[in-house]
Amino acid sequence: MKNIIDEQALVQRAMQARSRAYAPYSNYTVGAAVLSEDGTIFDGCNIENATYPATVCAERVAIFKAVSEGRRQLQAIALVTENGGSPCGICRQVMREFAPELVVLIADSTGDYRRTTLAELLPDSFGPEDLLDA
Ligand code: THU
């Protein structure tokens, strides 16, 4: 069952999560909030590491929290950065795994946001069906 997406509320949750970012190396703090189809919102922040590649993006933290709590049907994600930056390629691929029709809200630190979709951000994508059909 799809929810009516309260976009402002989702962006607000992402803003709150951003305040918990651990980003001492880049100082680029990111917050994310993902709406699952039962209406539950899971949030996340980026968590950096002294071994840089061990860093995890905010979007993946939020999505993995949802999945690890049993929610694989994801409807929308909001992310907030200082400058309204777009989600990285690895996060787009993780979104693709669980939510090819995901709505993506990309916000800056004032809360202004633009709405796009994963299909726009990751066209002609590779996904689970490609393996399962093989
Ligand atoms: N980052 C995210 O959390 N999400 C993205 O989509 C882009 C990048 C984080 C990773 C790292 O902690 C910092 O932003 C700079 O790359």
Confidence (pLDDT) at 28: 98
Confidence (pLDDT) at 78: 98
C-alpha span between 60 and 27 (Å, rounded): 18
The pick from 52, 55, 104 for probing ligand 1's pocket by mutation, whose C-beta has the most ligand atoms within 8 angstroms, reads 55
- Asked whether residue 75 is assigned to any structural domain, the reply reads yes
Query: Which residue is associated with the tokens 């899971």?
Result: 42
The pick from 22, 57, 95 for probing ligand 1's pocket by mutation, whose C-beta has the most ligand atoms within 8 angstroms, reads 57
Ligand 1 pocket check for 87: Cβ under 6 Å: yes
**CATH code (residue 122):** 3.40.140.10
Paired tokens of 110:
């004032």
Structural domain that includes position 121 = 7-131
- Asked whether residue 2 is assigned to any structural domain, the reply reads no
Ligand 1 pocket check for 46: Cβ under 6 Å: yes
Ranges of residues in the chain with a pLDDT under 50 are none
- Asked whether residue 1 is assigned to any structural domain, the reply reads no
Instruction: For residue 104, give Cα distances in angstroms to 50, 53, 97, 117, 119.
Output: 30, 25, 15, 5, 10
Count of domains observed in the chain: 1
